[in-house]
Structures are given as structure tokens and as C-alpha cells.
Amino acid sequence: MAHSHHHHHHHEKLSGKKLLISILLNIVITLAQVIGGIISGSLALLSDALHNFSDVLSLIISYLANRFTSKQASATKTFGYKRAEIMAAFVNSATLIVIAVVLIKEAVERFLQPEPIAPALVIWLSALGILVNGFSVLLLKKDAGQNMNMKSAYLHLLTDMMASVAVLIGGLLMYFYQLYWVDPFLTIVIGLYLIYMGYDLLKSSSKVLMLFTPDQIKVDEIVKIVGDHPAIKNVHHVHIWQLNEREIHLEAHMDFYENINLNTFDEILKDIEEKVFHEFGITHLSIQPEFGKCHSNEVIVQD
């Protein structure tokens, strides 16, 4: 277990460094696109710059959450900051959806009233955006599979890279064919994709924050497996929740057939801990032992 914890902190430091690099790169590209958008008169570039700026804010949130997670628990914060990354994922996925709606609204307006712009600067700056965001995406891709926080940061950068691709394609088509409708059309497609991905992450992070039972765990199965132990009469008042993406907690009352001593209870508890960990991935177990109390088997999840 000690090795596992050490590896986790090392991973957090690596993720933090990658986020910091991505933040600095996105600040540079945002400034370049704002200046370029003003000079060229391109709304596409300015909206991409706005998207990039929102990425900077979301990456800062992810970076701070990553730093907070490694802080130790205390008497006033008994769980420490273990939920910081889930909260960051929730905030980032919500802003992802808001940004998508704003981009779609702007794109529809541009679609109805296309404006001629100077496309050469748009092409160069969007190409720079693709390179910078593409590098950041590759930097965070591996970590995106580790937790929701890194996934939310990764999605912001991925969609920004796609937005830059749309701006580049739009710039090229405007430069060679004067097809000004392509840019808003591609922006709408990217916005819809943004909403699709953001909603999935928003739903996942909301479930954790609301203490919902993880999707892969069936309460009835746990009650049956634990209740099959010869010493246990029934299991009731069950609560299962995720503290974060690495810790799943199970809390329950257990009625025993006999008035057992603490040593016997500890042996039964170890046996149950092994079962629920290997079969359901539950990492923390809190059991209230009971004897001679009248409880219906139907009272499984109520308070």
C-alpha cells in the first residue's frame, strides 16, 4: 500500500507540470489570436481566442485542484481535498457546455450575416493554435484516462484544437474560394460535439458529488454476497458512494445471529473486506454490528 500511495503523489506532480506547460502555451496563443483578430477583423479568430482564454481558466482550475488533492487531511478537513479534482471536473464540464452554446450562437449569427475578412493572418494564427493545442493534447492524453479532472482539461484543449482546425479550413476556403459560410458551419459542428462530451463528464462528476452509487455497483448483489456469510442474519441501511475516482466507500448495519465478541467480528470483517474489494472495488468499509434488533430485510438503503 505504501508503494501505491508514493506512486500516486509522483503521478500528481507529473500531471501538475504538464498542466502548467499547457497553461503557459495557451496564454501565448490567446494573446496572439486577440491581436490577430483585431488586426484582421476576424470574428472567428476572436471567438477562438475567447475559447482559448476559457481554456486557460479551466486549466488553472485543474492545476489548483491537482495541487490541493495532495494536501494532507486535518481535524477540520478529515477527508482532506480529495474531492477537489471532481469539483474541477464539474466546473470545467459545465463551462465547456456554456462555451459551446455561445460558439453556436455566434456561428449562427455569422452564418446569417457572413463578413469578409483578411484570411491570410487567420490561416497562420489558426495553424499556430493547432500546433500549440495539439502539443498540449498529446501532453495530457495519457493522464486523461486517469481521472475526471485531467479528462476535463484534455477535452477543453482537444475541442480548442478542433476549433482552430475549423478556423484554418474556413480561412483557406475564404482565401481561395470566398466561401465565408464554411467557418460558422464547422463551428456549429464543433459546438455540438463539445456539448455531447461536456454533458457526459458533467453527469459523471455530478453523480460523485451527489454521493450516488457508482454505476458498476449493484447494491442488491453486495447485500446478497455479504448476507450469505453464515454469521450474518441480514444487512440493512446500506450506503455506497465514491469519495473520488480512487476510493469507494461502503457503510452498512449488520445483524448477527449471535452476540459475538470483537475478535470474532474482526475476523468476519476482514473476510467481508476482501470480498467487496475484489468483487466490487470497494476500498473503505464502515460496519455497525447489531444483535437482537428487529429490522426488516426490506430496509436496505433508507436512512
User: Same domain, yes or no, for 187 and 269?
Assistant: no
User: Same domain, yes or no, for 152 and 33?
Assistant: yes
Q: Are the beta carbons of 234 and 297 closer than 8 angstroms?
A: yes
pLDDT mean across residues, the chain = 83
- What is the extent of the structural domain holding 182? 2-209
pLDDT in tens, 7-66: 444 455 667 788 888 889 889 888 988 888 788 777 667 777 777 777 788 788 888 887
pTM for the model: 0.75
284-291 sheet: strands from edge to edge: 232-242, 248-256, 284-291
**Of 209, 232, 266, which marks where a domain is finished?**
209
Give a yes or no: residue 263 inside a domain. Answer: yes
User: Same domain, yes or no, for 108 and 198?
Assistant: yes
Cell digits of residue 187: 463551428
Provide the pairing of β-strand 232-242 with 248-256. antiparallel
Q: How far apart are CA 124 and CA 131, in angstroms?
A: 11
Q: How far apart are CA 252 and CA 301, in angstroms?
A: 9
User: Same domain, yes or no, for 46 and 137?
Assistant: yes
Q: How confident is the model at residue 303 (pLDDT cuts 50, 70, 90)?
A: low
**Which residues have a Cβ under 8 Å from the Cβ of 268 and sit 6 or more positions away?**
229, 231, 232, 260
User: Same domain, yes or no, for 191 and 266?
Assistant: no
**Of 188, 209, 230, which marks where a domain is finished?**
209
How far, in Å, are 44, 77, 264, 289 from residue 284 at the CA level?
50, 18, 20, 16
Give a yes or no: residue 124 inside a domain. Answer: yes
pLDDT in tens, 204-263: 899 999 999 998 898 999 999 998 999 999 898 899 999 887 889 999 999 999 999 999
**Of 160, 175, 209, which marks where a domain is finished?**
209
User: Same domain, yes or no, for 70 and 173?
Assistant: yes
Give a yes or no: residue 297 inside a domain. Answer: no
Give a yes or no: residue 196 inside a domain. Answer: yes
Contacts 24+ apart (CB under 8 A), 226-229: 226/252, 226/254, 226/272, 226/275, 226/276, 229/268, 229/271, 229/272
User: Same domain, yes or no, for 105 and 200?
Assistant: yes
CATH number at residue 223: 3.30.70.1350
User: Same domain, yes or no, for 119 and 37?
Assistant: yes
